[in-house]
A and B are shown apart, each in its own frame.
Chain A
Amino acid sequence: MNWINKALLALALLPRNLYRRWGIDVSQLSAILTAKLMMDDRRPNSIHVRQQHSGGKEVKNATIGTIILSAVMGLLFLFAFAFGNDHVTQLTVYFGMFIIMLCMLLVSDFTSVLIDVRDNQIILPKPVNDRTFIVSRLLHVFLHVCKLVFPMLAPGMIYLAFDSNPAASLLLLFLAIFATLFSVFLINAVYIAILRVTTPERFKSIISYVQIGFAILIYAGSQLLPRFEETVDVAEFTLPDKPWMILAPPYWFAAAFDTVFSGSSKWFQLAAALMSVAVPLLSIYLVVKYLAPAFNQKLAMIAGSEGPATKTAASREMQGKSSLSETLARWLTKSGAERTGFLFSWKMMARSREFKVRVYPSIGYLIVMVVVVFFKQSGTDAPDSQFFAGFKPIAIAYLMNIFLLAAFGQISYSDKYKAAWMFYITPVPFPGPIISGGLKAMVLKFCSFIGIPFLLFSLWVEGPSVLPNILLAVSNQVLLIFAMALIGSNRLPFANPFIEAQRGGQLMRLLLWLFLSGIVALIHFLLFRNAVAVGAGLVLSAAGVWFMLQQIKKITWQEVELAD
């Protein structure tokens, strides 16, 4: 254990005598917390959802990584102080960001780190009484939250200490503790609510969607906030000084700060200040008294073999979805291995949680880019805007393929890669058709998810004249992806462990793709107003796609890297 964890452990065990009076076995408590902190240190942290399982390197001192990342987030919060120049506005924004960020972090950490279902198997059969067990869990949550909250607050506190005085930064800390209690309550309530309406099995998928949302939000935030600052005069922005502000929780904490700091005496500000302390205390009482017991019980079910509910869910899925993918497969693939590859990849992409968690965040990057490209230049400047006019949607079509590339980067990998034995033991003469089937499924998914909605959108914005150009752009990207598949290591879909995903070649491939993509986009840009050239390009590109597919189908077993 590193010194941070040792210090945290010592802190948590400080009220020994109190624990003993409650009937808690302190040495067991210490043992559980030690083991838990040690494990936290070796687990990749939640902010890196997509990089989990990265490399063969063992994770060490993840705690320090978490702390540094939290501190960086804390730096982003400083943006709040660019707003207006009254404390209420600045701190409402500050606490708003703080609460949202903390909630996001807690959601993604709660199941995997804090409520470890293995505890039921490992700790419960041991002679540990209920109180010791529950207190160990609460303390673990507390320590984890400490690791997130203090570094996150540090930049804000330092800023306030210099901008106002040290007392102000202590006040911020004090109020942030209540904001933290409030966030923990919110998360608990959300968890209970989710578990009410869904089966524990589904619960895990919902959590992974939250993680996806989290990744998107962080990226969008980091991209859009600075731009927002450019376009809107933030220094002029102030929140309305009205009673209904009391409906926004971040306002309570800001109001409390202002009340103490500058002695404001508006009735609703006083009321809000009061709520900043009262609501968290009340909500913590609710959590301990009512929510937590039911919560632990329900969570235990996630691991439990509560059969019937999950079974019905599974069987329902099987009946509904098969027909669509089979129809598509019949249109697009020849029978045999290619159709199998198509159907297999189609279903795996739709159902594999880890594939989604790794690929979907790139949709967020896309949305951000679309917003940036489409709406930013609506302003005045840019003499070159005339020059690029009309090419914008086409440029986006090229950018969009980041999603395709992300999917391509992940399609050969899976946590359950060992299940790929089915490809090796069956008498398939060439793996090529399986690979081409998988790629077809991927491209089709991409088209239906992003391509078609985008196409409709750009037809609506730019008119039908843009159609051949968009088609050419998409076809070119598909051509590039297929070419990469051909020169790459020709891997079967979902048949390799993630560990390898990190290894060297990946970056080289990415650079190569960017380079080629840039060249193709440039050529396209030079030609895009010439309808004849675009038409010819489209025919050539489509022919290229077809040719690549034929080549991929010819891939032999010797060319495929086998896992294990």
Chain B
Amino acid sequence: MSAPVISIKNLRKNYGSKAVLHGINLDVYPGQVLGYIGPNGAGKSTTVKILCGLISDYEGEVTVQGIDIKNDPVAAKRRIGYIPELAELYDVLTPSEFLHFMGSLYGMEKDVCESRLTRIMSAFGMQANLHQRMDTFSKGMRQKVLLASGLLHNPDIIILDEPLSGLDANSVIIVKELIGRLAKEGKTIFYCSHMMDVVEKVSDRIVLIDEGRVVADGSFGELNQQGNQSLEQIFARLTVKDAQHNAADDLMQAFEQ
């Protein structure tokens, strides 16, 4: 196998006295679509923020295409396209202005940027909105602009955090298909989500973390050794400590009296 694109070795991170990551080890290879899942507070977002160079006070080693993120975060960031979950936008700008701004931060030529952003936004059916201010945009429209801003510079690594939130069914299909096509071209996709059915379908490798540790790592087939379980069920089996089915019982009991 070729050299890993993303390599995480013994990654630890504390917020004050609270440890969030207890030594994550992970190698991701070109062309992989990695589904990164875990319960709330498991440390998913922290891992992603470290990968994107947003958090630098961690222990362990994280390299992106051989570049240590701590030593040269700028070079690493250049290779990554990050699409944050429901992120802020400078919404008094228009998509065209915003994406040109993003493009120039990646050092892109103006013409290249223009033609790409026009095509990406048209593919999402937003060519008519290119020159409208984004403060009136719906959640889905904003998400499309975010997706465009992460893909614009044609990065080798794409980190997606809940990228489908707010999108309509048609756009969801487009994005899912796009993920597959990008992977085929050798791009590496790091996909964080709570939507198990989507993760199950789009990713060819699933990493499940819980309380800052990797508890499962493999393709869906490998995780599903007992056969005919959904990812949701596997997820529940691996992460629920006190039998979860009681929660529904408790809820039902709340109405008795």
Chain A: residues with CB nearer than 8 A to chain B? 25, 27-28, 30-32, 34-35, 38-39, 42-43, 58-59, 116, 118, 120-129
Report the 7 A-B pairs with minimum CB-CB distance, sorted nearest first.
Answer: A31-B104, A118-B88, A127-B77, A127-B78, A42-B92, A126-B105, A35-B101
Given contacts A42-B93, A122-B90, A129-B74, 20 further A-B contacts (CB under 8 A): A27-B104, A30-B104, A31-B105, A35-B90, A38-B93, A39-B90, A39-B93, A42-B133, A116-B90, A118-B88, A118-B89, A122-B87, A122-B89, A125-B80, A126-B105, A127-B75, A127-B105, A127-B106, A127-B107, A128-B74
- A43-B92, A122-B89 known; A34+B101 contact, CB < 8 A: yes
Query: How far is A121 from B78 in the complex, measured between Cα atoms in Å?
Result: 16
B238 at the interface (CB under 8 A from A): no
- A35-B90, A42-B92, A118-B90 known; A125+B84 contact, CB < 8 A: yes
B104: A residues at CB distance < 8 A: 27-28, 30-31
A116: B residues at CB distance < 8 A: 90
Query: How far is A30 from B87 in the complex, measured between Cα atoms in Å?
Result: 24
**Which positions 55-99 of chain B face chain A at CB distance < 8 Å?**
74-75, 77-78, 80, 82, 84, 87-90, 92-93, 97-98
Query: How far is A121 from B97 in the complex, measured between Cα atoms in Å?
Result: 17
- Whose C-beta in chain A lies nearest to the C-beta of B102? A126
- Whose C-beta in chain B lies nearest to the C-beta of A126? B105
A35 x B74 contact (CB < 8 A)? no
B77: A residues at CB distance < 8 A: 125-128
Chain B contact residue count (CB 8 A cutoff): 25
B90 x A125 contact (CB < 8 A)? no
Candidate in A30, A34, A35, A127 with the most chain B CB atoms within 10 angstroms: A127
A123: B residues at CB distance < 8 A: 105
**How distant is B165 from chain A, measured CB to nearest CB, in Å?**
15
Query: How far is A32 from B84 in the complex, measured between Cα atoms in Å?
Result: 20
B133: A residues at CB distance < 8 A: 42, 58
Jot down 16 A-B pairs with beta carbons below 8 A, ordered by A.
A27-B104, A27-B107, A28-B107, A31-B105, A32-B101, A32-B105, A35-B90, A35-B93, A38-B97, A43-B92, A121-B84, A122-B89, A124-B54, A125-B52, A126-B105, A127-B77
Query: How far is A122 from B102 in the complex, measured between Cα atoms in Å?
Result: 9
**How distant is B59 from chain A, measured CB to nearest CB, in Å?**
20
Query: How far is A125 from B54 in the complex, measured between Cα atoms in Å?
Result: 6
A28: B residues at CB distance < 8 A: 104-105, 107
B82: A residues at CB distance < 8 A: 125
B53 at the interface (CB under 8 A from A): yes
Query: How far is A118 from B149 in the complex, measured between Cα atoms in Å?
Result: 15
B106: A residues at CB distance < 8 A: 126-127
B84: A residues at CB distance < 8 A: 121, 125
B107: A residues at CB distance < 8 A: 25, 27-28, 127
**How distant is A122 from chain B, measured CB to nearest CB, in Å?**
7
A125 x B53 contact (CB < 8 A)? yes
A129: B residues at CB distance < 8 A: 74
Q: Contact mask B147-190 → A, CB, 8 Å, 1/0?
A: 00000000000000000000000000000000000000000000
Query: How far is A125 from B155 in the complex, measured between Cα atoms in Å?
Result: 13
Query: How far is A28 from B100 in the complex, measured between Cα atoms in Å?
Result: 11
B53: A residues at CB distance < 8 A: 124-125
A42: B residues at CB distance < 8 A: 92-93, 133
Query: How far is A58 from B131 in the complex, measured between Cα atoms in Å?
Result: 13
A35: B residues at CB distance < 8 A: 90, 93, 97-98, 101
Q: Contact mask B208-224 → A, CB, 8 Å, 1/0?
A: 00000000000000000
Query: How far is A235 from B119 in the complex, measured between Cα atoms in Å?
Result: 70
B92 x A128 contact (CB < 8 A)? no
Query: How far is A38 from B74 in the complex, measured between Cα atoms in Å?
Result: 26
- A38-B97, A121-B87, A122-B88 known; A128+B105 contact, CB < 8 A: yes
Query: How far is A229 from B104 in the complex, measured between Cα atoms in Å?
Result: 56
A126: B residues at CB distance < 8 A: 77, 102, 105-106
- Whose C-beta in chain A lies nearest to the C-beta of B87? A121
Query: How far is A121 from B85 in the complex, measured between Cα atoms in Å?
Result: 10
Query: How far is A38 from B98 in the complex, measured between Cα atoms in Å?
Result: 11
Query: How far is A34 from B97 in the complex, measured between Cα atoms in Å?
Result: 10
A58: B residues at CB distance < 8 A: 133
Candidate in A31, A39, A116, A123 with the most chain B CB atoms within 10 angstroms: A31
- Whose C-beta in chain B lies nearest to the C-beta of A58? B133
